[in-house]
Amino acid sequence: MIRNGDVSRKGSVLNRKNVSLNKEICTRIAEKVKDAGGRAFYVGGYVRDRLLSIENKDLDIEVHGIEPQKLYAILEEFGKPETVGSSFGVYMLRGYDVDIAMPRKETATGKGHRDFEITVDPFIGYEKAARRRDFTVNAMMEDVLTGEVVDPFHGREDLENGILRCVDPETFIEDPLRVLRAAQFASRFAFSIDPDTLELCKTINLSTLSKERIEEELKKALVKGRKPSIFFETLRQMDQLDVWFPEVKQLIGVRQDPIYHPEGDVWIHTMEVVDRASAYRDKVSDPFRFELLALCHDFGKIVTTSEKNGRIHAYDHENQGLPLIRSFLGRISNEHGLIHYVVNMTSLHMKPNAVYHDKAPIKTTNRMFDQADEPVDLIYMSMADKPLIMGSDVFTDSNDFLFERYEIYKETMSRPYVTGKDLIDAGLEPDESFTQILEYAHKLRLAGVEKDSALKQTLAQFKKRVKI
């Protein structure tokens, strides 16, 4: 069966081998640093995730107590050090995926997550070095050799209590990206945000951020989040939806027919769909764009919802919302393929449940799957979007029906079919009508007509049109 899709997960033997090599080089560097009178620490997300028993292959180490020249000489023993940025005190070794940094202070000199004045100081001390971090749970340091955790801002306690708390309010506000990071961390770890930090986030202007930064944090929330909806619920609490997510905010208060949507307005429904979609992230073609589809699928209800004869309707919302989707996705991404996917799949998202309800003929479901950028994703989208009133038996029957029809579609598309070469061999000259002729042949293919018969019907139709 194809229910698990054709998508392979990360975490292969090669990846595990690379992580092992990276940890080994960290240990070897730390031993040399110790011999030189210094100390090397794992820092950032690796320490946090290890304490949460979450795998994290991104290794960053910070070296204290030796001059930059000594560190560079140590790194040269293992390969060619490469400097990251300009005067950042950050190095990489070719062949390894590890950042090796010196302690530093950062002071914002520009707007957005852009310009910072970097001051490298290997003798700054653990507390001052950790003060530039965003949240206490990210400000812990773990000795590479001994495993001792240095925790000047009580991040371990906040980690155990599931709280995100900023390290330093004065430096926190210098980087508006931290508002988005707070929301995505809350989503990924189901953490609550310290009230003072939440209030601080309300005061920060996000308009100076780049779309690339927004997309990066959104992707982490949607792809890694335990509950992706927490990302948007958190931004809503911060009053920070307006600049980058206005269409999402407009879902708040848009009414739905309580017969089909007893859960509430379109915001509530969308948040539930985004969370249900996360169960299928390992089965679809691309989890990020699939979650974006779940987020955007009902944007059309913003402009189509009305009440008639006491019932709430949103006729043609699957098409009327497409301009809103293009505007939203164009604001956060430059990836045309992603935008095409979400627009295409949104326009079709009502059809799977409709064809099941109508027990539509095979040619209809073949046509539906043929129109979809990713047919399997369309089925999983319908599963995430099914009305809550649908019973479990009906839910299962619907899924079985759609997957069985998809198998029929695959088998149909594997058969021989009429091509342009077949038309030329039959004596037709390629011209502007060729596209229409092939489209007609393709309809016969979707209807299950065998190739020989389809070719005869196509030629007959062509002759009828040109009145030969």
pLDDT, position 194: 97
Residue reference for tokens 């209807």: 447
pLDDT, position 104: 84
Instruction: Tell me what the pLDDT averaged over the chain comes to.
Output: 91
Extract the tokens encoding 236: 């809503």
Taking each helix axis as running N to C, give the angle between helix 266-277 and helix 287-296, from 0 to 180 degrees, rounded to the nearest 10: 160
The C-alpha atoms of residue 24 and residue 45 are separated, in whole angstroms, by 18
pLDDT, position 119: 81
Q: How far is CA 23 from CA 10, 28, 47, 71, 125, in A?
A: 19, 9, 13, 18, 24
pLDDT, position 461: 85
Tell whether pTM > 0.75: yes
pLDDT, position 12: 41
> What is the enclosing helix (H) or strand (E) of 32?
helix 13-35
Residues 6+ apart with CB under 8 A from 404: none
pLDDT, position 13: 43
Extract the tokens encoding 12: 């292969």
pLDDT, position 51: 96
Q: Quick one: CA dihedral 250, 252, 256, 261, positive or negative?
A: positive
- 114: buried, middle or exposed (CB in 10 Å: 19+, 13-18, 0-12)? middle
pLDDT, position 468: 42
| pLDDT < 50: residue spans in the chain | 1-14, 113, 468
3-class SS at 46? helix
The C-alpha atoms of residue 205 and residue 285 are separated, in whole angstroms, by 35
